[in-house]
Structure formats: C-alpha cells, structure tokens
Amino acid sequence: MIRKFLKDIIPKSFYAYLLILFFFLYVTNAPETLNASLYFRDVEMTGDEYRDLLHVILYYKEICKNELSEENIEKKWIGPKNTELFSNAFTDKDVFLELRKKNILNRKNLQEMTEMMEKAWSRYDGEKMCTISFNYDGYEFKFPYYPDDKIRYLK
C-alpha cells in the first residue's frame, strides 16, 4: 500500500534525477571532496615570519599573473619557512612543483589561495594568525586565512 502510494506521488523523473546525481558524484569523486574537513588554528607569528609571508604572497602573485615561466618558478622558488602556517605543499619545493605539474596548484587555485593569504596578512592583529587546513587528493594544504564569522562557527 505504501509502495503504491509513493509510486503515485513521486514522479519517475525524480528517480532519473537521483540516478544522474549519483553518477555525477561518483564520476567527479565528489564524495571524497564532500567528506573533507576544514580545520582552523591560531598560530603566533614573529615580525620576520610576517615579512616572510609578504614575500611568499608577492611570489605567488607573480605566478598567478603569468609573469613567471615554469622554469623561472623553479629557479626563483620562494618557500615559506614557518611550518605552523604552511603545510609541506608550500614549504617543500619538490612537492610544490609536483602539485604544479599535476595541475592541483594551477594558476586559478593558487590565485584564490593567495587572495585568502593576502586578506589574512592585511588583517593580522599582531598576535596570532589563523590558518585553514584541509586534505585534497592525498595532500595536506595549510595556509594563513582570515576567517569570516559564518565559516568560523561552522567548524
């Protein structure tokens, strides 16, 4: 009785929609992405680390503006020194270049991350810098981030 009632209420197109949605999530590997967790952490910084962050931001901006070729990116590589602010995706030259080759740290993604870092840098209160970290495709990404209140309360 309930089954017949549900068949009358739910149109067949709904089942087709669910099937397409399932296929899309399966193909795009969205379940792994959707299960990702964001972690926020406050890190104390010194003046040297603050200047180092500025140099890293300017370097990433050069990459995003397409001013550096891939060879120059490797030659002029500037890696952040603070491992509490950045994961090895940014501090290790080989991992950084590998992520560039795999197109994970492409210009668009790097530009978005750089904008977040720049916002965090400009709003630094002189005491602690907030970082955001997450895993993607087996790599951990951690970098400075200025949290909006909406995102901060979702953690």
Residue 44 has what DSSP assignment?
A: E
CA angle 71, 60, 153 (to 5 degrees): 145
3-state secondary structure of 66: coil
pLDDT (mean) for 72-88: 85
The torsion of the CA quartet 120, 116, 37, 102, rounded to 10 degrees, works out to: -140
C-alpha span between 64 and 124 (Å, rounded): 23
pLDDT over 80 at 4, yes or no? no
Pick from 111, 38, 45: which is nearest to 84 by CA? 45
- State pLDDT tens for residues 86-106: 999 999 989 998 998 898 888
Least confident of 94-98, 118-122, 123-127: 123-127
